[in-house]
Structure 1
Amino acid sequence: MALLNPWALILLPVIYLPFWLKSRQGQMYSWLDLVPHDKFSDTANLILKAMTSLLLACIVIALASPRGPDQKINKIGQGAQTVMVIDRSVSMDHPFAGDASSGRAAEIKSAAARRLITRFIDSRPDDMMGVVGFTNSALYGAKITNNRDAIHAAINAATSSAINQTNIGAGVTQAVSLFDSIESSGSRAIILLSDGAGKISPRVKHKIKETLESRKLSLYWIVLREPDDISIFSASNSQFAEGSEPAPIELDKFFKSLRIKYKAYEADNPAALQSAIQDINTREKKKIQYSISIPGHDYSTDFIVIALFLSLLILIAKNLRVHSWQDA
C-alpha cells in the first residue's frame, strides 16, 4: 500500500483529543456521594470516546490517500505502435483550396487533420500511440500509450497554430526517440503530417537514417498540398538537378533512399486526407501485445464511509443519554 499524501499523518495525534478533553455535560452536585456509581455510563462514555478517536483516525488516513498496488494486465489485439508527427506551422491554419465556383473556402487543414486523426484513433482501440508536434523545433505531445484521453488531448494541442517554420527533421528525430522507452510489439510506424518541408541538414539526415533503419520503423508521409504547390509525384521532377530540388521533392527522395517501408500521400482536400489515413489504417494492422496498468484500489473512500458510519452511531448514542434525574 502506498500513501499519496503521507504528510497528512502528522495530524494523527488528534485522535487523543477525546480522551484529553474533559466533558462539562451533565448535572452539578454539591456532594458526589449523593450520586450512585454508574458503571454502565462510565463504560458507555469510554466507548463513545473510543469511537470518536477512531472517527478522527479514519479522517486523517483518508486525507493521506492510501492506494493499493497497481496491477499489470497483458492485452492482445490487432494494431500498431504509432507516433503521429504533426506540423504546427501557421500555414496549417489555412483552408484547403475548396471549390472556386462556390465562392466558399474549404475546411481548415488543421481542423480537418484533428477531426480525421481523432476518428482514426477511435477506430483502432488496440493501438498504442504517441504524439509529436513541430514548428521550428520538436514539441513533445504524449509518449506512446494506450490512454485515449491523453492521446486526444495531445492531438488537440498538436493541431493548434504556432509559428511560421517547418522543422520536419526535429519532429521525426523526436518521434523516433519515443520508441526507445517502450518494448517493440508487432508493427511500429511514424505518420508524418505536414503541408510543407524545410531543408534538413546532412547531420540530421544521417541521424534519421541511422535511427529509422536500426529500429525497423515504417514511415508514412501525408503532404497537405495546395493546387499551386509542386507535387512530389509529378513526372517533371526529374528535370531538377541534384541538390536543387524543391524541399518536398528532396525530402521524398531522401525517405525513399532509406531501407525502411515508406509511402507518401498527397491530399489537397479533406476527402483525400481521409483516404490517405484509411490506407494507412489497412496497412498497419498486425498482432500486438502489450501490458496496461490498472491503478490500485483507493482506500480513502472506504475510510470516509467508515467515518460517516461512526458519526451516525455517535449521533444516535448522544441522543439516547439521560439528561436529568428529576423524573427518577
Structure 2
Amino acid sequence: MIDWLSWKWFTLSQLRQFSWESPYYLYGIPALLLLFGLRSLLQNRSKQRLGVAFSRGKLKPSLITSLRHLPGICLVIGMTLILMALARPQIVREQTENISEGIDVILALDISSSMNETDLKPNRLAAAKRVAQLFVRSRPDDRMGLVIFAGEAFSLCPLTTDHDLLNSYLTDLDDSMIKTSGTAIGSALAVCINRMRESASKSKVVILLSDGDNTAGNLDPIIVARLAKAFNIRIYTIAVGRPEIPRLGALASAVTIDEGILTTIAGIGGGTFFRATDARRLQTVFREIDRLEKAPVKTKTYKDIKDYYRVYLYWAIVFLLLILLLKSTIFGNILED
C-alpha cells in the first residue's frame, strides 16, 4: 500500500521524478486558476455583503472573513489534484539488454617447422599466436575452438566460451607438438568439420592459417571444402609469410605458399582468401574477418512502470470531502458574502 499521506508527494524533487503518461491534463491547472480568479473577481463586484459584528475583539474580523475563502480554495486544490491524477504520474525504470546469438569459430593453425621462419617478427607462429589471442578476446559472445596441424591434424581445444582456456592453449603452442612433418590442410579442415557438424549455431566459421602447400594427409582439401559447404561452414584462409622467389640457377625454396589452393578453398567455403606478409597485415586480416563475421545483436528493453495517480486522487477526495464539511459550518453560510 502506498503511503499517500506523506507530504513528500508534493515536493519539487518528487514531482521531477515522475514521467507523465498524459501530460496535457497538466495544462488545465493554470486555466483552472485563471477561471477561479475571474469568478472571484466577478462575484466580489456583484455580490451584496453582510456586515457581521464581533464581540470584544477576540477574533479579528479580517481573519474571520478571510476564512470564508476556504471552500473555494479547497475546491481549486481538489480539482488540481484530479488533473494531476488524470495526467498519470509514473516512475519508469528502464533496463536494456543486448542479446547476441554468437558464432562458432574454429582457428586452424599450421604449426609445421616452416612457421619458425622470421619474416614475421619474432617468427610466423609467434606472430600468428599473438594476433589470434587478440581476435579471441575481441569476440566474447562466440564459442571458439582450436585445431593444430602439420603432417597430421588434431583438435587441441573444443568449441568453448572459456576464452581464457583457449588463449592458454595458444600461448603453449610450438612446432614440437606434432612430430609428423608436412602440411595436411585437408586433414585440418576435416577435423574442423567434425567438431562443427553437430553444432546448432546458425553461423559456423573456420579460419585456416598456413604458410605452405598441402603436402601431407590423405584427404583432398577441395573435397573437404565442399563437404564444409554442405554443413554450412564458411572458410577463411590466410597465407602467412613472404613467398620466396628462387633465383635463376638456384633450387626452389622448400617453403612455398600455394595461394591457388588456399584461394580455391576459401571460394568453395564462401569465405575470403587473405595474404599476410607481415605482423601488421596479419592483424589487419583478423580485424577484417572480425568485421565480416558479426553476429546480429538483438536489443530488449524492459520497463518497470509504477503508477502513482492514486496518491493524488486520494488527496483530491480528502479536499472535496472537506468542502462538504465546510459547507455545513459557519464558513459555508453565515460568513458567505
TM class by shorter chain equals: 0.5 to 0.7
Q: Write the letter of the residue equivalent to 2:211.
A: D
Which of 120, 129, 132 is matched with 1:117 structurally? 132
The aligned residue for residue 128 of structure 1 is 143
The aligned residue for residue 112 of structure 2 is 89
Question: Quick check: 1:113–1:159 contact (8 Å CA) kept in 2?
Answer: no
Identity of aligned residues (%): 23
1:286 equivalent in alignment to 2:295: yes
CA distance in 2, matches of 1:86, 1:157: 13
The aligned residue for residue 167 of structure 2 is 152
> For each residue in 1:261-297, what CA deviation from the matched residue of structure 2 results, as whole angstroms up to 9, or x when unmatched?
12111111100100100000000111389xxxxxxxx
The alignment's TM-score, normalised by the length of structure 2, stands at 0.51
- Which one is further off, 264-273 or 218-227? 218-227
Cα offset for 1:158?
4.0
The aligned residue for residue 318 of structure 1 is none
The alignment's TM-score, normalised by the length of structure 1, stands at 0.52
The aligned residue for residue 123 of structure 2 is 108
Segments of 5+ residues of structure 2 without an aligned counterpart are 1-97, 247-255, 299-337
> For each residue in 1:9-31, what CA deviation from the matched residue of structure 2 results, as whole angstroms up to 9, or x when unmatched?
xxxxxxxxxxxxxxxxxxxxxxx
Which of 170, 191, 203 is matched with 2:207 structurally? 191
Q: Write the letter of the residue equivalent to 1:174.
A: V
Q: Secondary structure at the match of 1:262?
A: coil
Q: How many residues align?
A: 190
Q: Write the letter of the residue equivalent to 2:183.
A: T
Q: Write the letter of the residue equivalent to 2:191.
A: Q
Q: Secondary structure at the match of 1:125?
A: coil
Cα offset for 1:79?
4.0
Cα offset for 1:150?
2.4
Q: Give the CA RMSD over aligned residues.
A: 2.7
Structure (1 or 2) with the larger CA radius of gyration = 2
1:216 equivalent in alignment to 2:232: yes
Q: Write the letter of the residue equivalent to 1:165.
A: G
Q: Write the letter of the residue equivalent to 2:236.
A: Y
Q: Secondary structure at the match of 1:286?
A: coil
> For each residue in 1:67-100, what CA deviation from the matched residue of structure 2 results, as whole angstroms up to 9, or x when unmatched?
xxxxxxxx94264210000001011122116xxx
In structure 2, the CA distance between the partners of 1:229 and 1:182, relative to structure 1 (3 Å rule), is farther
Q: Secondary structure at the match of 1:142?
A: strand
CA distance in 1, matches of 2:159, 2:166: 9
Segments of 5+ residues of structure 1 without an aligned counterpart are 1-74, 98-105, 231-245, 290-328
Q: Write the letter of the residue equivalent to 2:265.
A: F
In structure 2, the CA distance between the partners of 1:229 and 1:273, relative to structure 1 (3 Å rule), is farther
1:153-168 equivalent positions in 2, closer than 5 A: 153-161=168-176, 162-163=178-179, 164-168=181-185
CA distance in 2, matches of 1:288, 1:140: 30
In structure 2, the CA distance between the partners of 1:145 and 1:96, relative to structure 1 (3 Å rule), is same
CA distance in 2, matches of 1:190, 1:226: 23
> For each residue in 1:143-187, what CA deviation from the matched residue of structure 2 results, as whole angstroms up to 9, or x when unmatched?
111111321133234454444411111111101110124322x32
